[in-house]
Structure 1
Amino acid sequence: MLRDPLTAAAISVLTCLVLLAIFAPWLAPVDPTFVDATVRLKPPSAEHWLGTDRVGRDIFSRALHGARVSLSIGALVAIAALSIGTALGLVAGYVRFLDGVIMRVMDGLMAIPAVLLGVAALMAFGSTPQALVFAIALPMLPEIARLSRSLTMSIRGEPFVEASVMAGTRTPVLLLRHILPNAAASLIVLASYVCASAIIAEAVLSFLGIGTPPELASWGNMIAEGRSSFQRAPWVVFVPSVLLGLTVLSINLIGDRLRDVTDPLSLGGR
């Protein structure tokens, strides 16, 4: 993957963002919630590298801590959605009598718009980080489950699976040891897109005022708070928007390259 300059650049950018997020408490010059009304909407300077917002908070410090929120939610949603969706797809693709039940539930979730489903979940459970992860992961389950199911149905007819069945291998062991490893490559590629979509979904929900709590520094909150001051101080929206775009673009580029590498029929995988 590193032989491709674009992919190498994406990996480098994402690695830098992750490191900045991890070390944000030590790199941030001031507390992201510290308010200084005397420096409201100040442009970038030696004292405030990326300027200040409408209440005098340091944009650089808030951007660093916002990276922690966005990247953490993206990773947690990817892990949760991939784990649950893959498990449901494996069972649906291998256990015939459960296939109809599981997939009809997934079809029901797909019939509801993702934003509406996320808003309903947040209204029901409150705007907590745990509820936010659940609200974003829930609409993504059908896509993962359907892919996992189709992969399972194609793999279960392979000779090594039939040999394992004839040898008396139990179904849970068969799914985890034989089918899941052979489906893992496609699922990992999908996980990269789920992570990118989750980061965007968190920003959208926070922008609408129902995502992360307003007092928490996140890129979505920063964009929402800065929209009223955009014409006077464009950096309050520009900084989190650029970071959000770079993060999502990097993840998508890495996901595209992973797809090429793991696809034996792709020229990029050779």
Structure 2
Amino acid sequence: MNNISAKQASTKKKEKFIIQTFKRLIKNRLAVFGLIIIILQILMALFAPLITIHDPIKQNLASTELPLFSSGHWLGTDNYGRDMWSRIVFGSRVSLVVGFSAVILGLIGGITIGMLAGYFSKLDGLLMRIVDLLFAFPGILLAMLIIAILGTSLVNVAVAISIWSIPSCARIVRGSVLSIKKQEYIQAMKTLGASNLRIMVKHILPNCMAPIIVFATMRMATAILSTASLSYLGLGAQPPTAEWGSMISGGQDYMFSSPHMTIVPGIAIMLIVFSFNVVGDGLRDALDPNMNIND
């Protein structure tokens, strides 16, 4: 009965924490605005075939470089006559899929390294030196080096960005683990004979989730921006794939005659990157332990 009561109390405490966090988040108007933009982008990517009437890669040389608000092409067309709205919508799929994939892979690697380094003192020195080695390379240059080795493709872009994300995630998790493993309840679990794996997965990792969630949210912005940057350089999405960075690259030669070819995908990148950043900031404030104490 005592164990059941303790579990119920723990569950209620977690539910209360989630509710309080959500209330703080929705009080942040900028974060709510960003969250709405992200939700709209995700819905737009999921239902892309239903909200577009043109094939994003189909060329129509009779309707090239149409301006904004043209009949049948409200965002105009590019130099090949492809509908800009369709390309923006389908391009959101590429950016979000690559971004989510890169962040998830980076979290898996970073959490694993951070947990092992923080929990096992003997591994700490070795693993952190590997992390320091990855930090020695500027992020975008490291991604370019990895793509140069693996080859040009969106899959390799996701892998490269995930490897770039591992060091930061590992340091965040390691710092949390070093603090949490000194708590009395962790020592009690060891005394009761709980395995290291059980302690790490069931008792330490859940208490590291707040900084991990904030990191993942803000890293999404970096991943999407990096995907666009690499595609702009020709290392990511290849023609005729609709991707925001490659659209900017293809439109830069027409900046004066058809500026919408560059401005429209640029605004799309700006909005989604801004949204993930402000949501990340909002989550960081909402999950602040000091704010939790004051409530």
2:248 corresponds in structure 1 to: 223
Report the Cα offset of residue 162 of structure 1: 0.5
Structure 2 alignment gaps of length 5 or more: 1-24
Query: 2-side partners of 1:225 and 1:171: how far apart?
Result: 53
Query: 2-side partners of 1:267 and 1:230: how far apart?
Result: 50
Alignment of 1:152-191 (within 5 A): 152-191=177-216
CA contact (8 A) 1:207 1:220 kept: yes
Query: 2-side partners of 1:87 and 1:109: how far apart?
Result: 16
Q: Count residues in correspondence.
A: 270
Query: 2-side partners of 1:209 and 1:266: how far apart?
Result: 45
1:21 corresponds in structure 2 to: 45
CA contact (8 A) 1:21 1:65 kept: yes
Report the Cα offset of residue 3 of structure 1: 2.8
Partner secondary structure for residue 26 of structure 2: coil
Q: Work out whether 1:37 is the aligned partner of 2:40.
A: no
1:197 corresponds in structure 2 to: 222
Residues 134 and 268 of structure 1: CA distance in aligned 2, closer, same or farther (over 3 Å): farther
The normalised TM-score by structure 1 is 0.97
Q: Work out whether 1:75 is the aligned partner of 2:100.
A: yes
What amino acid maps onto 2:39 in structure 1?
A: T
Report the Cα offset of residue 46 of structure 1: 2.5
What amino acid maps onto 1:50 in structure 2?
A: L
Partner secondary structure for residue 236 of structure 1: helix
Query: 2-side partners of 1:35 and 1:217: how far apart?
Result: 12
The normalised TM-score by structure 2 is 0.89
Residues 269 and 226 of structure 1: CA distance in aligned 2, closer, same or farther (over 3 Å): farther
Query: 2-side partners of 1:111 and 1:6: how far apart?
Result: 34
2:142 corresponds in structure 1 to: 117
What is the identity percentage for the equivalent residue pairs of Structure 1 and Structure 2? 35
Query: 2-side partners of 1:67 and 1:125: how far apart?
Result: 24
2:11 corresponds in structure 1 to: none
Query: 1-side partners of 2:293 and 2:88: how far apart?
Result: 35
Structure 1 alignment gaps of length 5 or more: none
Query: 2-side partners of 1:153 and 1:11: how far apart?
Result: 32
CA contact (8 A) 2:98 2:155 kept: no
Partner secondary structure for residue 27 of structure 2: coil
1:4 corresponds in structure 2 to: 28
2:126 corresponds in structure 1 to: 101
**Match among 232, 245, 249 for residue 270 of structure 2:** 245
